[in-house]
Structure 1
Amino acid sequence: MIPSWLIDVGLLVIKLAVSLVGLLMIAAYLVLAERKLLGRMQIRLGPNRAGWHGALQPIADVVKMITKEDARPRGADLFLYWFAPAVTALTAFLIAAVVPFGPALNIFGHRFEPMVLDLNVGVLYALAFSSIGVYGVSLGGWASNSKYSLLGAVRAAAQMISYELPLALSLVPAVMLAGSLRLTDIVEAQAGLPFILVQPVAFAIFLIAAFAEAKRIPFDLPEAENELMAGFHTEYSGMRFGLYFLGEYVNMIVLGSLVTVFFLGGWHGPLLPPMVWFLLKVFALVFVMIWSRGTLPRLRWDQLMGFCWKVLTPLALVNIVVTAGIMVLLS
């Protein structure tokens, strides 16, 4: 008879390994998918030399970054310079730990949740680590001892801190409708009707704020190649630049997963297995992020901040009041 604690530990190790390896593989090939899709949008082929139709390009990129010289700018704060990229990548992985990508299963008489952590305050956990992610960007730009990096870091800090407010406020109606802060409960509350149909305003606000949190076009002012060369990671090379790169693409997957959990019904859907539905919804949202990069122009800085404080935040507050009023009238 296998001890129950040993089964619990074994299942936890399996979930950790699958989540980590899965996210790394998806993020690696998401880079290839983005380059291919942008190539098609611009009437070109994209990477097609490493492997069949460029299938080995992610492996070639990893080898290149590992073997590339780890340059360090003169006058940099070395501890923060080395530490900052890890913060960006680590926070994205930690948020992914609470994302449920399927219903609970019964394995050896034990309840198996297809997620690393099933917290009763999962929403607060995700928002907390999302806010910590700004430190990786701001510290990396400041520690590089470069005016371009510092300017990109200041932009990133202002942008990410500002858009966290409408991002969090847009989730309040979803929490009110589900009556819980647990992500699995929010998904179960959408078994009959996804929240996007009853909360389209909250969905739009969350999606726009998620673009800004991920620093994707049209909200990529912290990088702004034509102004800042590359912004906060200008002075990084090798695998430290790779960690920033990895964090950005894992963040895209995580934000797509959160949109799916909060507004698209999570794993719910007809005919197909639950996990397949979840992945299809996430990849559809990631495709929208890639599509926007190939089509939308970059906003000006005043437009970026004005849109957050003058449009999204007031709209999110009004949506909370209206939702609360309707719930009281229908109760």
Structure 2
Amino acid sequence: MKLLLSAVPDYTAADFSQETWWLTLIKAVFIIVYLILNVLLALWVERRGLGRMQTRPGPNVAGPLGLLQAIADAGKLLFKEDMWTRGADKFLYFIAPAIAAFSAFSVFAVIPMGPNVNLFGHSSPLQLADMPVATLYILAITSLGLYGVVLGGWSTRSTLPLYGAVRSSAQVISYELAMGMALVSVFLMSGTMSTSQIVASQGQVWWAFALIPAFVVYCISATGEVNRLPFDLPEAEGELVAGHMTEYSSMKFGWYYLSEYVNMLNVSAVATTMFFGGWHAPWPLSHVPVINDGWFGMLWFFLKMWFFMFLLIWTRATLLRFRYDQFMSFGWKWLMPIALVWLVAVAVVRGITEWVEVSLPVLGVSIVILFAIIMLIMWVTDKGEPEPAPKPADMEYTGFADGFPIPPLPGQSPVESPRAGRAPVVATASKEDTDE
């Protein structure tokens, strides 16, 4: 009897040769239902998970263990009064949530959730569509979703929503650049931008291990893309109430709320596809043909996607919100230079391997070593003699710093009060029958 572990895993791209229009329609409906059900599950997992992490029960009234809480919230949004602000641009005010929701639901069209299976007598992949530039399609659709946020904040003609929209546009543009550069290294290693072929290229090693810096940059940038803590600056409750959603109610607010959670599923599915082997089983289970093919692919894809969903929930429970200047500085001064240096290292090593035959693990180690050398050179050349910090006693104390009143530091003399030296006011008794 042959051992199942001796089998070689089958990593092939999707085959759409037997696809029909009604199979495509069935898949499109399935994706919509799949995402809505996962959003309901995400709401329950996040609330119960946050409750456990913060030592509180979480929702436990609507249904057993609070399982029907998300359905109760959906019913509340459906029957809540639909308010319209008087000065809003009516068309843009209405269409903005629809743009955000449409863009969020469109990303899963090119995500491979499984291999070719038998669907009603046709061999069809568990993927709606694929194309040579499928990953660029994902980046384009996510950028289009930003219009829903910007138009939603601008159309209300209100201050706080406009601030939230401007914050969100700057945030998405900044972190989308770092995320795009992290994905380019995957394109270079895979030799393709097709999502099914990228999954097939991870037969020997997942790109999360061979391209560790790109994977880390993607995870951080994806958190900023979906406005999750510690990067939820566009919806900072203490500053902007609810950001671009402040003037929305009922299902217009619900579409924004739904698109936020669908975008969490999107970035998790893209991370699974680009870095975690897609729908393939993890090693050594990938060498067992029975559980590494067919409908089992959807199970592995679901588990991997929810691994990243749990990370997003975990960071919300443990990390504090950044200041906006810290957030933008982190994206432009750290994430983007690291992603760019890593991309150059991958391109150099990939170019060398065009003439030298090396295995994939050796290629990954070579890229990591070259990246470390480049970062070390940058650190050494940039390291100069730091200027000595002035002592507080040598600094002039004016009572203010950056426009804010502050107490004196040790060694500083307090500012003399402008009231000093005034003669005290002496109260005297008034004379009778006078106005004094």
For the structure 1 residues 189 and 205, does the alpha-carbon distance in structure 2 shift closer, same or farther, using more than 3 Å as the test? Answer: same
- Counterparts of 2:318 and 2:120, CA distance in 1: 50
Deviation per residue, 1:48-71 (Å, 9 max, x gap): 111111111121111110100011
Given the alignment of the two structures, is residue 316 of structure 1 paired with residue 339 of structure 2, yes or no? yes
Task: Return the match for 1:143 from 155, 171, 174.
Answer: 155
Deviation per residue, 1:234-271 (Å, 9 max, x gap): 11111111100000000000100000000011111125
Q: Compare CA radii of gyration and give the structure with the larger one.
A: 2
Tell me the residue number matched to 1:197.
209
Tell me the residue number matched to 1:226.
238
Task: Return the match for 1:292 from 290, 308, 315.
Answer: 315
- Counterparts of 2:63 and 2:29, CA distance in 1: 27
Given the alignment of the two structures, is residue 20 of structure 1 paired with residue 32 of structure 2, yes or no? yes
- Counterparts of 2:120 and 2:105, CA distance in 1: 28
Tell me the residue number matched to 2:5.
none
Letter in 2 for 1:117: A
SS in structure 1 at match of 2:56: coil
Tell me the residue number matched to 1:29.
41
Letter in 1 for 2:341: V
Tell me the residue number matched to 2:107.
95
Q: CA deviation at 1:75?
A: 0.5
Q: CA deviation at 1:90?
A: 0.8
Given the alignment of the two structures, is residue 328 of structure 1 paired with residue 351 of structure 2, yes or no? yes
- Counterparts of 2:162 and 2:78, CA distance in 1: 26
Given the alignment of the two structures, is residue 278 of structure 1 paired with residue 290 of structure 2, yes or no? no
5+ residue gaps, structure 1, are none
Q: CA deviation at 1:107?
A: 3.9
Q: CA deviation at 1:192?
A: 1.9
Question: How do 1:172-183 and structure 2 match up within 5 A?
Answer: 172-183=184-195
Task: Return the match for 2:81 from 55, 69, 75.
Answer: 69
- Counterparts of 1:115 and 1:186, CA distance in 2: 14
Letter in 2 for 1:298: R
For the structure 1 residues 149 and 86, does the alpha-carbon distance in structure 2 shift closer, same or farther, using more than 3 Å as the test? Answer: same
Letter in 1 for 2:229: I
Q: CA deviation at 1:164?
A: 1.0
Identity of aligned residues (%): 45
Q: CA RMSD in A?
A: 1.5
- Counterparts of 1:208 and 1:87, CA distance in 2: 25
Worse-matched range after superposition: 311-320 or 221-230: 311-320
5+ residue gaps, structure 2, are 1-16, 355-436
Letter in 2 for 1:258: V
For the structure 1 residues 65 and 168, does the alpha-carbon distance in structure 2 shift closer, same or farther, using more than 3 Å as the test? Answer: same
Task: Return the match for 1:215 from 219, 227, 230.
Answer: 227
- Counterparts of 1:7 and 1:118, CA distance in 2: 12
Q: CA deviation at 1:133?
A: 1.1
Task: Return the match for 1:256 from 247, 268, 274.
Answer: 268
Letter in 1 for 2:52: R
Q: Are the aligned partners of 1:73 and 1:235 in contact in 2 as well (CA < 8 Å)?
A: yes
Letter in 2 for 1:81: Y
SS in structure 2 at match of 1:105: strand
- Counterparts of 2:18 and 2:53, CA distance in 1: 51
Letter in 1 for 2:324: W
SS in structure 1 at match of 2:187: helix
Q: CA deviation at 1:324?
A: 1.3
Given the alignment of the two structures, is residue 305 of structure 1 paired with residue 342 of structure 2, yes or no? no
Task: Return the match for 2:183 from 171, 181, 188.
Answer: 171
Letter in 2 for 1:283: W
Q: CA deviation at 1:330?
A: 2.7
Tell me the residue number matched to 2:366.
none
- Counterparts of 1:192 and 1:268, CA distance in 2: 12
Q: CA deviation at 1:31?
A: 1.0
- TM-score, with length taken from structure 1: 0.96
Q: Are the aligned partners of 1:74 and 1:145 in contact in 2 as well (CA < 8 Å)?
A: no
- TM-score, with length taken from structure 2: 0.73
SS in structure 1 at match of 2:87: coil
Q: Are the aligned partners of 2:207 and 2:275 in contact in 1 as well (CA < 8 Å)?
A: yes
Worse-matched range after superposition: 7-16 or 158-167: 7-16
Deviation per residue, 1:202-253 (Å, 9 max, x gap): 0011111110110001110000001111111011111111100000000000
SS in structure 1 at match of 2:123: strand
Between Structure 1 and Structure 2, which shows a larger proportion of helix residues?
Answer: 1
SS in structure 2 at match of 1:32: helix
Q: CA deviation at 1:327?
A: 1.6
Task: Return the match for 2:256 from 244, 259, 267.
Answer: 244
